Amino acid sequence: MRKNRTLLICTAALLLLTCALTILHISASSEPVAGEILVRVGSRQYAIPYDSLAAEEVHGTIINGKGEESVINAPGIEIIALLSTINVDPSSIESVSVISADEYHAEIADHELMESEKAYLILWDNSCRLVVFGDSNSKRAVRDVVRIDTVSKAS
């Protein structure tokens, strides 16, 4: 790397910009608390501890993008049941976005929410994981779920 003043200034400027954006991003996003899921419904948000979830044993098989099957055998709760615990009417929800700590997210549509034994949050290795049975790949297998955002149907 030869000395190049222009590049040095540009790189330093980009680094400063990235640092500033990082600080803004981290301060703007809600700090995920270990052992809790944040559920946002409109302007309200609810912090639900894992311990308070009425988890039941979830059994099933999921398939990844390579066609390999994985057996699921862990405690969990259906997304629709989770929303019911905070008195949210599932029929008023258009879609649900399940978000992990690194902002990776997966969408679940209203008809999938209503479908029985379809979308679960399972407790796995001290964190929550989204499992959607029937998917042909693992794009919606969101690990380390920290937040669920709901989108309400237009009235």
Partner 1 sequence: MRLPPRHRPTLRQLIFWAICCDLGLVCKRLIAPAANLLTDAMRIPGGIATSFSLLFIVIGCEVMPFHYCGTLMGITQGLIMMVLGHTGSMGPLAIIGYSFPGFIVDLLMRLPLVGKLKRAERMAIMNASAAACAAITANIIVFRLTGLTLILYSSTALTAGTICGWASSGIADRIDHYLNKNR
Residues that bind partner 1 (CB under 8 A): 1-2, 4, 6-7, 10-11, 14-15, 17-18, 21-22, 24-26, 28-29, 65-66, 101-105, 137, 139
Residue number, 64 or 84, with CB nearest to partner 1: 64
- Nearest approach, Cβ of residue 134 and partner 1 (Å): 17
Residue number, 59 or 139, with CB nearest to partner 1: 139
- Nearest approach, Cβ of residue 101 and partner 1 (Å): 7
Residue number, 8 or 54, with CB nearest to partner 1: 8
- Nearest approach, Cβ of residue 55 and partner 1 (Å): 27
- Nearest approach, Cβ of residue 116 and partner 1 (Å): 28
Residue number, 25 or 153, with CB nearest to partner 1: 25
Residue type (1 letter), 83: L
Whether the Cβ atoms of residue 95 and residue 107 lie closer than 8 Å to each other: yes
- Alpha-carbon distance of 141 to 104, in angstroms, equals 10
What angle is formed at CA 23 by the lines to CA 17 and CA 25, rounded to 5 degrees?
100
Residue 9 dihedral angles phi and psi, to the nearest 5°: -65, -45
Q: In sequence order, what are the residues at sequence separation of 6 or more whose Cβ sits closer than 8 angstroms to the Cβ of residue 10?
A: none
Whether the Cβ atoms of residue 63 and residue 69 lie closer than 8 Å to each other: yes
